[in-house]
C-alpha cells in the first residue's frame, strides 16, 4: 500500500523524468485501447485502436505526458500489415493489430502501445498483482522480469533515472 512519503518519492522521480524528457525533446509513442471487431445488429465493425494519449517508454513502464504511470503491455506499429501469411495464429494476430493501427488515426510508422495497465499511485492504493512496481515497507522497487526476487529488484528511482538516460541518449531500440 502506498503511503504519503513513498508517494512523494514516486512523484518526484516521475516529475524529474518528465522534465528531463521534455527538455531533451524526446518523441512520444501512442497509447491506445484495442477494440476487437464485432457485429452490431447487421453491421460488422472492424477492429480498431482508440487513442488514449501519448507516452514515453521507460523500460517496463510507460509515462504519459500528464504524469500517469503505466505497466507496459503490447506494442505494434502503424504500418501496412501486408498479406495474410497463415504461418501461425500469433503471426496473424500481430498482422491484425498492424492493420487496425494502420487504419487508425496514427502517423505511419508510429509505435502504438496497448493492453497497458495504468498504475494507481494514490495514497492507500494497492497495485495489481502482476505490476512491475513492487512496494514493501515504504520502499519501491522494479520487477523488470517475472519472478525477480525483492533483493534483486532495483530501486524505482535508480531504475527510472537509468531508463530516462537511455531514452535521452537514444539507446532504447524504440522510437524514444
In whole angstroms, give the CA distance from residue 6 to residue 155: 12
- List, for residues 81-105, the tens digit of each pLDDT value: 988 877 899 999 999 999 999 998 9
Mean pLDDT, all residues of the chain:
91
C-alpha to C-alpha distances, 18 to 7, 32, 34, 87, 175, nearest whole angstrom: 16, 20, 26, 41, 16
* C-alpha to C-alpha distance for 85 and 143, rounded to whole angstroms: 36
Q: How confident is the model at residue 176 (pLDDT cuts 50, 70, 90)?
A: very low
Phi, psi of 29 (to 5 degrees): -105, 165
Instruction: State mean pLDDT over 111-116.
Output: 97
pLDDT at 173: 55
The pLDDT of residue 121 is above 90: yes
Cα separations in angstroms, 6 against 1, 23, 60, 108, 150: 10, 26, 20, 40, 17
pTM of the predicted structure, to 2 decimals: 0.89
Confidence of residue 120 (pLDDT cuts 50, 70, 90): very high
128-141 pLDDT per residue, tens: 878 999 999 989 99
Say whether pLDDT at 65 is over 70: yes
**What are the C-alpha distances in Å from 50 to residues 33, 67, 102?**
5, 20, 12
Specify the pairing of strand 48-58 against strand 61-64: antiparallel
Amino acid at each position: 500500500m502506498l503511503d504519503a512519503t513513498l508517494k512523494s518519492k514516486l512523484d518526484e522521480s516521475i516529475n524529474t523524468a518528465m522534465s528531463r524528457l521534455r527538455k531533451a525533446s524526446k518523441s512520444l509513442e501512442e497509447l491506445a485501447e484495442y477494440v476487437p471487431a464485432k457485429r452490431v445488429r447487421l453491421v460488422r465493425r472492424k477492429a480498431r485502436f482508440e487513442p488514449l494519449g501519448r507516452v514515453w517508454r521507460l523500460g517496463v513502464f510507460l509515462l504519459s505526458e500528464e504524469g500517469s504511470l503505466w505497466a507496459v503491455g503490447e506494442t505494434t506499429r502503424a504500418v501496412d500489415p501486408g498479406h495474410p501469411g497463415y504461418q501461425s495464429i500469433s503471426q496473424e494476430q500481430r498482422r491484425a493489430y498492424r492493420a487496425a493501427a494502420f487504419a487508425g488515426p496514427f502517423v505511419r510508422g508510429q509505435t502504438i502501445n496497448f493492453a497497458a495497465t495504468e498504475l494507481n499511485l494514490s495514497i492507500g492504493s494497492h497495485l495489481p498483482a502482476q505490476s512491475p512496481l513492487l512496494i514493501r515497507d515504504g520502499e519501491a522497487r522494479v520487477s523488470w522480469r517475472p519472478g525477480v526476487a525483492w533483493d534483486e529488484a532495483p530501486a524505482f528511482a535508480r531504475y527510472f533515472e537509468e531508463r530516462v538516460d537511455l531514452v535521452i541518449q537514444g539507446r532504447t531500440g524504440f522510437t524514444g
